[in-house]
Amino acid sequence: MTVDHALICNLLAEYGALLDAAEYDKWLGLFADACRYVIVPRENHDRGLSAGLIYCDNRAMLEDRIMALREANKYNIHTDRHVIGLPRLIIADGPLIEAPFMVYQTDQEGATQLFATGLYRDRLELVGHDLKIRDKLVLLDTFAVPTLLATPL
C-alpha cells in the first residue's frame, strides 16, 4: 500500500514541532509500540560500527530516556529549532524514507548556533489511519557534538 507523501510530510513536521516545544510525551506518541530510536555518529556508521550516542532498541528504553531527561539529567539551558528537509521515499512499501535535518540551539541570552545536521532514515508504518515511526536512525554528520546532547534530535 502506498502512503500519501503529504502524510509523511505531516509526520515530520509534527516530529520537529513537538521536540522544539519540549512536548516529549506527544513526541513519544509518534512512535509505534514496537520501535527503535538510535543516534549514530557518521564516522561509526561509515565504518560499520554500531555504537550510538543514544541507543534505544525498544520503546521502554526510549521512555526511560525521556524520564531521565526530566527527572535526573542536567544540561545547558536552551531551546531547539528543527529544520527538516523534504523527505525522499527510498522504499514505497513500509515505507522507508530519508530526510535531511538541521537543529539550531539558542541559549538563554539569545545566541544561536547550528547544533547538529544529518540525515533521518525512518522506517514508518500505518497504524489504522496514523503513520507511526517504527525505526528511526539519526545519522549524525555533526558527530563532534558541541558541549553535550540531551534533548532528542
The footprint of other proteins (CB under 8 A) covers 39-41, 43-44, 47, 49-58, 60-61, 63-65, 67-68, 71-76, 143-150
- The CB-side HSE value for 65 (13 A sphere, CA atoms) comes to 22
CA distance 62 to 55: 8
Smallest distance from other proteins to CB 77, Å: 9
Smallest distance from other proteins to CB 88, Å: 26
> Residue 47: is it exposed, middle or buried by C-beta count within 10 angstroms (0-12/13-18/19+)?
exposed
Q: Which is nearer to other proteins, 97 or 137 (CB)?
A: 137
CA distance 23 to 131: 18
Q: What are the beta bridge partners of residue 84?
A: 101
Q: Which is nearer to other proteins, 74 or 129 (CB)?
A: 74
Backbone angles phi, psi at 3, to 5 degrees: -90, 135
Smallest distance from other proteins to CB 69, Å: 9
Smallest distance from other proteins to CB 94, Å: 24
Q: Which is nearer to other proteins, 41 or 87 (CB)?
A: 41
Q: Which is nearer to other proteins, 47 or 129 (CB)?
A: 47
